[in-house]
Amino acid sequence: MKALYALIALFFLGFVSYAQEEVPEPPAPPAPTEPTAPPSVPEIDTMKMKFGKTQVLVISNSDEGTKDVDIDIDSEDEPREESRKSEAHWAGIDFGFSILLDENRENNFSDHPYWNNDAAKSQVWNLNLFEHKFNFGTPYVGLTTGLGFSFTSVAFKNNYLIQSTADSVYAVVDTVHNYSKNKLKASYLTIPLMLEFNTSADEDKSFYLAAGVIGGVRLTSKTKRQGEFDGKEFKEKVKGPFNLNPFKLDAAVRLGYADWGVFANYSLLPLFDQGKTVDLYPLTFGLSLNF
């Protein structure tokens, strides 16, 4: 489009120049000789035209019969501060820990002690692959979304062995085996929707704060146990739904500087299907490294 504007301008100038050319007349008879007048100051005319982002400047010298044409095109490739877009802070790797809370947002399970999970071993890995930020007319505020995977685990204490039936989920103490690893693991496909604030359009020099929700769909679930029986080590994996909720919805907050940050997620939906056991709400927190 810029090239088209320039061609139109040049065609217009050629037409004007042709129209202004004078038709030569027959030579007049020589006039009487007069004293030579002092040289006159050349008369210069300037004409400016603008076509979109293309500006044409024409400088005419009437004495010399010359025209200078200057074409200035405002390139869209040149970055402008007001049009720069800051990146979202979702894509990357998260590592954290998870603790189970009851419906009163407390870690108190006196009637169901097996839900007092080992938070240090209840690890969470998030692999967030895709992100996009819809800026609200400024690089400093926008709506962030994307796609990722979450891998969660709930580690049990005191040799509790999780059991599930069609109507309930519970755990019993295993007095035969000695477990060194005893976890309920699940993986989810996740999609965030967060309002994000940035202090700079340059992501390498920006503080950021994002808050919103993260939805998820459960993909896989299993129990993983490792321990010792009769002096021999054993490993066991059992796949199954274990009455886990097929969906998850977390209230989420993320903040940090440049590529590093921290995150915290609190589940708004119970971990297991309602009515199968007491309502459990995982609280997850940790560190994030953004791509």
Q: Are residues 129 and 109 both part of a single domain?
A: yes
Q: Are residues 145 and 58 both part of a single domain?
A: no
Cα–Cα distances in Å, from 54 out to 14, 15, 70, 77, 86? 17, 19, 10, 14, 29
Residue 107 forms part of a structural domain:
yes
Is 90 exceeded by the pLDDT of residue 33? no
Residue 24 forms part of a structural domain:
no
Residue 213 forms part of a structural domain:
yes
Q: Are residues 187 and 54 both part of a single domain?
A: no
Q: Are residues 244 and 284 both part of a single domain?
A: yes
- Binned at pLDDT 50, 70 and 90, residue 203 comes out as confident
Looking at per-residue confidence, does 190 or 87 come out higher? 190
Q: 22-32 burial, b for 16+ CB within 10 Å, e for fewer? A: eeeeeeeeeee
Number of independent structural domains in the chain: 2
Is 70 exceeded by the pLDDT of residue 118? yes
Q: Are residues 52 and 152 both part of a single domain?
A: no
Residue 246 forms part of a structural domain:
yes
Mean pLDDT, residues 167-173 taken together: 95
Q: Are residues 66 and 95 both part of a single domain?
A: no
Q: What angle do CA 32, 36, 42 make, to 5 degrees?
A: 125
Q: What is the pLDDT of residue 262?
A: 99
Share of the chain above pLDDT 90, in %: 64
Q: Are residues 94 and 223 both part of a single domain?
A: yes
- To the question of pTM greater than 0.85 for the whole model, the response is no
Q: Are residues 99 and 205 both part of a single domain?
A: yes
Q: Are residues 57 and 87 both part of a single domain?
A: no
Q: Helices (H), strands (E): how many in the chain?
A: 1, 14
CA distance 269 to 97: 18
Residue 106 forms part of a structural domain:
yes
Residue 174 forms part of a structural domain:
yes
Q: Are residues 133 and 48 both part of a single domain?
A: no
Q: Are residues 48 and 118 both part of a single domain?
A: no
Q: Are residues 68 and 180 both part of a single domain?
A: no
Domain that holds residue 62: 43-74
* pLDDT, averaged across the chain: 84
